[in-house]
């Protein structure tokens, strides 16, 4: 239903998706059912979120054909390494009630205790993703929360280049070095917490802009990602806000406002690890 980006392997990635972190408690998949009803056809999850089974059930019960929706999952830190990744992937498939994923990501780069260790393990994990890709089980593969030097390590050693890097991105945390690096290497950037976990929605500058465009602060943030060529993955638990968050195609931010949004004080959560380039 939306425009798509063409990934570096030709797969079409819709330009807006639904984030599902903390989207469900226990057996409840109401949020995902509501999101499906609100029109979302692109769901971003991860084994770590603990909600794949609920999402799988909601999608199965919706009766929507598999090729009608785009599904991403991710391998968690404890699932790294060749054998572990393959096992983790198969378990995700089983929980999601599907026989392929549209996109499979390494959730986080490994911690840097032991310099050569993380390089070797990241590369080894990546080899498992490449196999899943070649087998057609994952239509595209990529990474999440990777800084340029993590990606560099993969590019030096890989056969299939990552198609995506999913990072924290919102006004107030725009990770310019990483975004530029990815965009120069044909790696599509996706934004988790595109509204800065709703913190950013109280920024006076954003509220002022929202007033001028006749939209909400959330729509300003999502439109900002869109105009940067970045895929926003907003989360919400309410039907109204789910709909509002998809309604970002009827206005355009001026160059000046894009500049203001890109130069706000940087206070993101991933900022705990400073951006580094090379080592
Ligand atoms: P809610 O579930 O009550 O809608 P992010 O995706 O940046 O991490 O932000 C998620 C948070 O933003 C959630 O707490 C969600 O709360 C809130 N949120 C989502 N959409 C909107 C919106 N359109 N307006 C205000 N808050 C929103």
- How far are the Cα atoms of 92, 106, 252 from residue 48, in angstroms, in the given order? 10, 11, 35
Q: What is the pLDDT of residue 24?
A: 67
Cα atoms in the Cβ-side hemisphere of radius 13 Å centred on 246: 21
Q: Is the pLDDT of residue 271 over 60?
A: no
Q: Is the pLDDT of residue 269 over 80?
A: no
- φ, ψ of residue 255 to 5 degrees: the values are -60, -40
Which atom belonging to ligand 1 lies closest to the Cα atom of 235?
Answer: 6
What distance in angstroms lies between residue 198's CA and the mean position of ligand 1's atoms?
6
CB-based contacts of 98, cutoff 8 Å, min separation 6: 56, 59, 66, 71
pLDDT, tens digit, 9 for 90 and up, residues 71-109: 999 999 899 999 999 999 999 999 999 999 999 999 998
pLDDT, tens digit, 9 for 90 and up, residues 220-267: 999 999 999 999 999 999 999 999 999 999 999 999 999 999 999 888
Q: Average the pLDDT over 18-31 and give the result.
A: 81
pLDDT, tens digit, 9 for 90 and up, residues 154-179: 999 899 999 999 999 999 999 999 99
User: Where does residue 190 rank: exposed (0-12), middle (13-18), buried (19+ CB within 10 A)?
Assistant: buried
Strand 103-106: give its sheet, edge to edge.
18-19, 42-44, 70-75, 103-106, 141-144, 164-168, 188-192, 231-232
Query: Is residue 150 marked as binding?
Result: no
Residues touching ligand 1 (Cβ under 6 Å) are 19, 193-198, 201, 216, 218, 234-238, 241, 244-245
Cβ–Cβ < 8 Å for 107, 192 = no
- Tell me, which fold does domain 4-198+232-250 have in CATH? TIM Barrel (3.20.20)
For atom 16 of ligand 1, which residue has the closest CA? Answer: 236
Which among 49, 104, 133, 181 is annotated as catalytic?
49
Q: What is the pLDDT of residue 197?
A: 85
Which atom belonging to ligand 1 lies closest to the Cα atom of 233?
Answer: 6
Which atom belonging to ligand 1 lies closest to the Cα atom of 19?
Answer: 6
Separation between Cα atoms, residue 192 and residue 79, nearest integer Å: 21
Q: Is the pLDDT of residue 114 over 80?
A: no
What distance in angstroms lies between residue 224's CA and the mean position of ligand 1's atoms?
16
How many other CB atoms are there within 10 angstroms of residue 198's CB atom?
15
What distance in angstroms lies between residue 195's CA and the mean position of ligand 1's atoms?
7
Q: Is the pLDDT of residue 270 over 90?
A: no
- φ, ψ of residue 175 to 5 degrees: the values are 40, 55
Of 181, 179, 114, 180, residue with least CA distance to 152: 181
Q: What is the pLDDT of residue 233?
A: 98
Q: Average the pLDDT over 24-52 and give the result.
A: 90
Catalytic site residue 149?
no
Model confidence at 116, pLDDT cuts 50, 70, 90, reads low
Q: What is the pLDDT of residue 179?
A: 98
Model confidence at 277, pLDDT cuts 50, 70, 90, reads very low
CB-based contacts of 202, cutoff 8 Å, min separation 6: 217
Of 278, 272, 7, residue with least CA distance to 153: 278
Q: Which of 192, 234, 240, 243 to mutate to test the pocket of ligand 1 (most atoms within 8 A of CB)?
A: 234
Q: Average the pLDDT over 130-151 and give the result.
A: 96
Of 143, 154, 173, 181, residue with least CA distance to 272: 173
Separation between Cα atoms, residue 73 and residue 64, nearest integer Å: 19
Q: Is the pLDDT of residue 113 over 70?
A: no
Domain range annotation of the chain? 4-198+232-250
pLDDT, tens digit, 9 for 90 and up, residues 175-214: 999 999 999 999 999 999 999 988 899 999 999 999 999 9
């Amino acid at each position: 239903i939306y425009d798509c980006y063409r990934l570096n392997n030709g797969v079409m990635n819709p330009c807006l998706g639904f984030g599902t972190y903390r989207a469900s408690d226990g057996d409840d998949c109401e949020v995902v059912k509501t999101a499906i009803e609100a029109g979302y056809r692109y769901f971003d999850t991860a084994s770590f979120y603990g909600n794949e089974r609920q999402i799988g059930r909601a999608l199965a019960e919706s009766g929507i054909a598999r090729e009608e929706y785009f599904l991403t999952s991710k391998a968690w830190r404890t699932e790294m390494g060749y054998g572990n990744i393959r096992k983790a992937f198969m378990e995700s498939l089983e929980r999601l009630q599907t026989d392929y994923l549209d996109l499979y990501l390494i959730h986080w780069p490994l911690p840097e205790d032991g310099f050569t260790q993380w390089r070797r393990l990241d590369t080894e994990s990546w080899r498992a993703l490449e196999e899943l890709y070649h087998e057609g089980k994952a239509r595209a593969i990529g990474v999440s929360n990777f800084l340029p030097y993590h990606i560099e390590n993969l590019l030096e050693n890989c056969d299939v280049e990552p198609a995506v890097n999913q990072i924290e991105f919102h006004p107030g945390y725009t990770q310019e070095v990483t975004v530029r690096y990815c965009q120069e290497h044909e790696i599509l950037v996706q934004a988790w917490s595109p509204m800065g976990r709703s913190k950013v929605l109280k920024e006076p500058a954003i509220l002022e802009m929202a007033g001028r465009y006749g939209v909400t602060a959330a729509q300003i943030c999502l439109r900002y990602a869109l105009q940067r060529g970045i895929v926003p993955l907003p989360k919400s638990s309410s039907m109204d806000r789910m709909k509002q968050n998809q309604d970002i195609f009827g206005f355009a931010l001026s160059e000046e406002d894009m500049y203001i949004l890109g130069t706000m004080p940087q206070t993101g959560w991933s900022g705990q690890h400073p951006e580094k380039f090379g080592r």
